[in-house]
């Protein structure tokens, strides 16, 4: 039965009206939800300084609100873009109600709090950017429900916790940036499921563990940034199969291994940026890197790379090359050939190859490098030659660093054309000639360091035009003339060091303009006149060194304003008057040296004057008072009559002494044996060569030296001859005129006790062992000012101390031997054997057991052939076999001196010295040689120490904690075409190295056990280390370890 046509039309009309009414109601409800959600978002904003959200009100449709964009069809919110709007507040959970949202951009604001879990309800979301906010807490795992996400960036927040493995399910994700947060845990291997991923950035977090090999499945990956974490191990080979990679950065981790052959050619053929800084990578730079024609940035700083740098001529797009702090180069001609190939890199802006082993001549071609170059650093190598005249072509140069090389000739005047130069560092070379007169053209100069060269002439006054100069260091040259007032007027100066030159005249009163000065060093010159009151205006001063001049007068009262001073040295001048009491109120003063002047009166008793280790006032005969430890006469007033009476008494004593000495001499001559008489008759010929002194009375050697001999041998104890300094005093390099013999002269300071001097003489005079430094003679006399002088003369050790080889220090004394390179495993084992042999002799085979009491790397010296000798017996103690008591000349106190970290723990509880304590110090030294870490390293805290650090790594993880230098395998002396044989040799060598590292670690741990009687016998240590060396070299020869 059919319906009438009119009824059909009526029913259809009613249906359409109902449909349209329902659809409109649905849109109305959805839009209202969006509006209310946005208002809830606004309610959580605490600060809106730009007023962007002020128009989010009922007068405007929500789709017209700033930052809000809606779809044309449903009028629902699809984009919320409030980036860089200076908003501050938290993110409302109602953000999850914007169900049509596809783009959410809130970067560059100040949002804080956690990211709400409701973010996972935005299933249509394609882009989420929360960069550079202050979001904290964990990344919500619900974010994995945003299945359409293509871009996820949470960079630059304070997010913590582990990276949710659920992120690995976001199969459409192309960009994942979680860098610069506080994320921890490991990189999820589930990231391998992100098949569309082009960028992965997790740098600057606290991630640990290895790099997952599964990341090698990300075939679309172009940018991989894993830097500044705690990742360790090697880079998985699968990573090197990612042919789309343009950028790879693993900077500042604990990764090791070598760079693969084919890098830049078959491996990473599209490479543009390569950042492997600050790891433990080693081996050569692959020659194929020259094929990386797209490479723009190449950085391998602070690793252990070796060998020559290949030509970079075909990498014309390079703008930044950083290869500093490695072991590149062989210290031979041709090392710098690659520099000429960089002439083709017309966009080069930064070149840093400092801190390597490059030798050869500095090529003139560096003058033809890109004029865009802003940084050129070639310092701390062995580069010879001269600075090219064409260096002035590099007109945009801001940093020129050639320090610590072997450059000669003069400083070319063309260098003054570089008017953008900020850093000019040419210190520690062999440059000569005068300073360029046009240095004042360098008006942008901030630091000028020409220290330790052979420069002559005067300081050009034009330098006063460098009004941005912060640091001027011209010390240790042959500069002369007066100090130009133009330079002293540079109010920008923070550091002024003109020490160890030949400057004359007075200190300019214009020093008052140096209101920003923190360090002033004018020591070791020929300055005269009085101390200027104007220095009191330099109230920012922390260090003041004026020692070694001809300054006179009193210490000005106006200097009482220098309340921030920490280091204050006026020694060896002609100052007079009293020591100002205000010096005792300087709370930050840590070193005060007023010695060898003509100061008088009472010594203050406050502040630094209570600390004898921080104070030196010797050589001022008219001082009195002070604390008892200074040993000065008590404060007293002597009348003129008393003074005359004292003079008469002293005159009588002197006359009687001369008469008594003459009678004694006659008695000795009359009773001498023939043998002794023969010695006396022969003695004058010896006297023509060296002068006798009271130093011979110690029975150390027939070689006799006086204070004058040692003064001449060390060029007046010049700072140029200084090779070491410590709490005991200073060590100088000297040449004795008798036979032009090079010696080391250890001058004990005024605080060194007579007992310490005697202890070292007594300990060494009867010792003859190849691994104990040889004491040639001693001198106990008075200097030309009538002060006590004590010195010990040793054989000179041309390779410095073990400390310098293990830890190359920025504070190295200027005259000390320059250490280049690192000690390999065999060298360290040999040194360890030498030191153990020395201890074995001292403990078990000397005429009486001797305990060194201060064994540490700085007291192990190295001969030219790297034979190690134990030195510095100032704290040594005898242990008589029967009583095991302290020697007679020892103080009865049980307080044991030594160095923190090396001293046995039982000494801190009052126990007497023992051979066990010596073994403990040796164990710590051995572990330091193994790991490259000092026992006082900042990482050792909260119960962790060097002993436990190594003990917990035994045996599986020893390679992880040892110095990476020790893992380098020695190249085979023969080459073979048989790959299998070569691999077998390398595997065997690697196994032997691992075995030896474990043995060394076990010996070190056994020697440094907490309980003395659990420590290893030093004789067994010697046997064990000989075994290690035999295993390393593949030999076994029985040895007698007792004889010297």
Residue 48 bridge partners (DSSP):
87
Q: How many Cβ atoms are within 10 Å of 776's Cβ, its own excluded?
A: 20
Place of tokens 């960069």: 131
CA 226, CA 1043: separation in Å to the nearest integer?
A: 55
Q: How far apart are CA 219 and CA 195, in angstroms?
A: 7
Whole-number Å distance between alpha carbons of 803 and 1029: 22
Q: Which residues contact 60 (CB under 8 A, 6 or more apart)?
A: none
Determine which helix (DSSP H) or strand (DSSP E) holds 159, and give its type and residue range: strand 158-162
Torsion of the alpha carbons at 177, 181, 185 and 189, rounded to the nearest 10: 0
- Residues 23-44: b if buried by 16+ CB within 10 A, e if exposed: eeeeeeebbebbbebbbebbeb
Distances (CA, A) of 1002 to 613, 633, 917, 962, 1038: 38, 55, 18, 13, 22
Closest to 967 in 3D by CA, of 1005, 1002, 931, 935: 931
**Pairing status of strand 741-748 against strand 729-736:** antiparallel
Residue 782, beta-bridge partner list: 788
DSSP secondary structure string for all residues of 215-236: GGG-TT--EEE--SSEEEE---
DSSP state of 541: -
Give the contacts of 112 (CB within 8 A, at least 6 positions apart): 88, 89, 90, 133, 134, 135, 136
1000, two tokens: 């060394």
What does the alpha-carbon distance between residue 755 and residue 578 come to, in Å, rounded to a whole number?
Answer: 32
Whether the bond between 185 and the residue before it is cis, its omega within 30 degrees of 0, is no
Task: Return the residue matching tokens 């980036």.
Answer: 83
Whether a cis peptide bond, with omega within 30° of 0, leads into 382 is no
Query: Contact 457/480 with Cβ under 8 angstroms?
Result: yes
Is residue 854 part of the annotated active site? The answer reads yes
Nearest Cα to 342, choosing from 386, 381, 295, 379? 295
Q: Which residues pair with 503 in a beta bridge?
A: 481
Within 8 A by CB and 6+ apart from 588, the residues are 542, 563, 564, 565, 566
- Does the annotation flag 746 for ligand binding? yes
Tokens standing for 771?
């691994």
The pair of three-digit structure tokens given for residue 864, joined into one six-digit string: 């030219």
Distance of CA 32 to the CA centre of its chain: 62
The residues facing 274 across adjacent strands are: 248, 298
Please report how many Cα atoms fall inside a 13 Å half-sphere around the Cα of residue 682, on the Cβ side.
Answer: 6
Which DSSP category does 411 fall into?
-
274: nearest Cα among 207, 320, 208: 320
Give, to the nearest 10 degrees, the angle between helix 915-931 and helix 979-1007: 150
| DSSP code of residue 899 | -
In whole angstroms, what is the distance from residue 818 CA to residue 85 CA?
Answer: 56
CA dihedral 1036, 1041, 1043, 1044 (to 10 degrees): 90
End-to-end CA distance of the chain: 128
Catalytic residue among 854, 987, 988, 1017: 854
Report the half-sphere exposure of 685 (CA within 13 A, side-chain side).
Answer: 4
Q: Bridge partners of 232?
A: 254
Which residues line the annotated binding site for ATP?
746
Question: Which active-site residues does the annotation give?
Answer: 854
């Amino acid at each position: 039965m059919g319906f009438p046509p009119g009824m059909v039309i009526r029913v259809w009309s009613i249906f359409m009206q109902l449909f349209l009414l329902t659809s409109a109601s649905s849109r109305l409800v959805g839009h209202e939800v969006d509006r209310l959600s946005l208002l809830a978002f606004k309610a959580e904003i605490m600060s809106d300084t730009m007023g962007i959200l002020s128009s989010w009100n009922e007068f405007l449709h929500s789709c017209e609100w700033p930052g809000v964009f809606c779809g044309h069809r449903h009028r629902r919110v699809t984009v919320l873009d409030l980036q860089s709007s200076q908003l501050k507040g938290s993110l409302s959970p109602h953000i999850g109600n914007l169900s049509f949202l596809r783009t959410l951009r809130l970067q560059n604001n100040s949002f804080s709090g956690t990211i709400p879990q409701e973010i996972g309800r935005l299933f249509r979301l394609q882009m989420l950017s929360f960069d550079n906010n202050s979001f904290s807490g964990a990344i919500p795992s619900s974010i994995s429900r945003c299945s359409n996400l293509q871009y996820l960036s949470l960079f630059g927040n304070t997010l913590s916790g582990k990276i949710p493995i659920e992120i690995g399910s976001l199969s459409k994700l192309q960009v994942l940036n979680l860098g610069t947060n506080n994320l921890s845990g490991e990189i999820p291997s589930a990231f391998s499921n992100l098949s569309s991923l082009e960028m992965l950035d997790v740098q600057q977090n606290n991630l640990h563990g290895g790099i997952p090999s599964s990341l090698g499945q990300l075939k679309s990956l172009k940018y991989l940034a894993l830097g500044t974490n705690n990742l360790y191990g090697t880079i998985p080979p699968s990573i090197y199969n990612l042919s789309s990679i343009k950028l790879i950065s693993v900077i500042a981790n604990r990764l090791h291994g070598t760079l693969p052959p084919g890098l830049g050619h078959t491996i990473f053929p599209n490479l543009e940026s390569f950042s492997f800084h600050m790891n433990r990578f080693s081996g050569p730079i692959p020659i194929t890197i020259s094929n990386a024609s797209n490479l723009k940035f190449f950085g391998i700083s602070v690793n252990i790379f070796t060998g020559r740098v290949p030509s970079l001529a075909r990498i014309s797009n390079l703008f930044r090359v950083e290869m500093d702090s490695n072991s590149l180069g062989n210290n031979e001609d041709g090392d710098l050939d690659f520099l000429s190939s960089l002439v083709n890199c017309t966009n080069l802006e930064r070149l840093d190859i400092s801190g390597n082993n490059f030798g050869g001549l500095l090529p003139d071609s560096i003058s033809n490098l890109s004029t865009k170059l802003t940084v050129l650093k070639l310092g701390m190598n062995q580069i010879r030659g001269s600075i090219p005249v064409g260096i002035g072509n590099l007109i945009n140069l801001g940093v020129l660093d050639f320090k610590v090389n072997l450059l000669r000739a003069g400083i070319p005047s063309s260098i003054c054309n570089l008017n953008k130069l900020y850093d000019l560092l040419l210190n520690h070379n062999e440059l000569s000639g005068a300073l360029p007169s046009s240095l004042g053209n360098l008006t942008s100069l901030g630091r000028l360091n020409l220290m330790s060269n052979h420069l002559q002439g005067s300081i050009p006054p034009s330098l006063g035009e460098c009004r941005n100069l912060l640091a001027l260091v011209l010390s240790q040259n042959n500069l002369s003339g007066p100090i130009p007032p133009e330079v002293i007027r540079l109010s920008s100066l923070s550091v002024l060091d003109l020490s160890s030159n030949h400057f004359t005249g007075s200190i300019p009163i214009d020093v008052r303009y140096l209101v920003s000065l923190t360090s002033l060093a004018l020591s070791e010159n020929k300055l005269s006149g009085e101390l200027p009151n104007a220095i009191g205006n330099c109230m920012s001063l922390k260090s003041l060194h004026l020692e070694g001049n001809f300054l006179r007068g009193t210490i000005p009262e106006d200097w009482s304003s220098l309340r921030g001073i920490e280091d204050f040295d006026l020694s060896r001048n002609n100052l007079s008057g009293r020591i100002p009491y205000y010096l005792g109120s300087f709370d930050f003063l840590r070193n005060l040296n007023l010695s060898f002047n003509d100061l008088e009166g009472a010594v203050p008793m406050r502040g630094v004057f209570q600390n004898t280790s921080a104070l030196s006032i010797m050589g001022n005969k008219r001082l009195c008072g002070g604390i008892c430890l200074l040993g000065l006469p008590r404060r007293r007033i002597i009348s003129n009559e008393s003074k005359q009476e004292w003079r008469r008494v002293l005159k009588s004593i002197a006359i009687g002494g001369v008469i008594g000495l003459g009678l004694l001499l006659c008695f000795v001559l009359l009773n001498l044996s023939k043998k002794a008489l023969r010695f006396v008759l022969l003695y004058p010929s010896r006297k023509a060569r060296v002068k006798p002194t009271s130093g011979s009375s110690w029975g150390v050697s027939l070689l006799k030296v006086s204070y004058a001999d040692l003064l001449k041998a060390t060029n007046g104890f010049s700072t140029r001859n200084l090779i070491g300094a410590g709490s005991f005093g200073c060590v100088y390099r000297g040449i004795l005129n008798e036979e032009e013999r090079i010696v080391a002269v250890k001058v004990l300071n005024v605080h060194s006790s007579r007992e310490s001097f005697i202890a070292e003489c007594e300990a060494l005079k009867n010792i003859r062992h190849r691994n104990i430094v040889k004491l040639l003679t001693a001198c106990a006399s008075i200097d030309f000012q009538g002060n006590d002088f004590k010195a010990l003369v040793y054989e000179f050790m041309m390779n410095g101390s073990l400390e310098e080889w293990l830890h190359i220090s920025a504070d190295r004394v200027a005259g000390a031997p320059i250490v280049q390179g690192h000690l390999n495993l065999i060298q360290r084992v040999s040194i360890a054997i030498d030191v153990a042999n020395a201890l074995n002799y001292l403990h078990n085979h000397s005429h009486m057991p001797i305990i060194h009491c201060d064994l540490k790397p700085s007291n192990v010296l190295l001969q030219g052939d790297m034979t190690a000798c134990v030195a510095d017996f100032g704290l040594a103690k005898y242990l008589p076999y029967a009583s095991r008591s302290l020697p007679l000349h020892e103080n009865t106190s049980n307080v044991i001196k030594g160095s923190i970290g090396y001293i046995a723990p039982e000494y801190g509880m009052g126990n007497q010295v023992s051979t066990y304590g010596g073994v403990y110090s040796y164990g710590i030294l051995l572990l330091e040689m193994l790991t490259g870490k000092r026992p006082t390293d900042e990482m050792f805290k909260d119960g962790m120490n060097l002993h436990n650090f190594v003990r917990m790594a035994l045996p599986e993880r020893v390679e992880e904690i040892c110095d990476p230098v020790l893992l380098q395998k020695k190249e085979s002396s023969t080459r073979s075409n048989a790959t299998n044989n070569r691999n077998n040799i390398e595997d065997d060598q690697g196994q032997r190295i691992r075995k030896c590292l474990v043995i060394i670690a076990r010996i070190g741990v056994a020697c440094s056990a907490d309980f003395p009687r659990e420590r290893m016998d030093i004789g067994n240590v010697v046997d064990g280390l000989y075994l290690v060396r035999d295993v390393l070299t593949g030999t076994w020869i029985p040895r007698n370890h007792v004889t010297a």
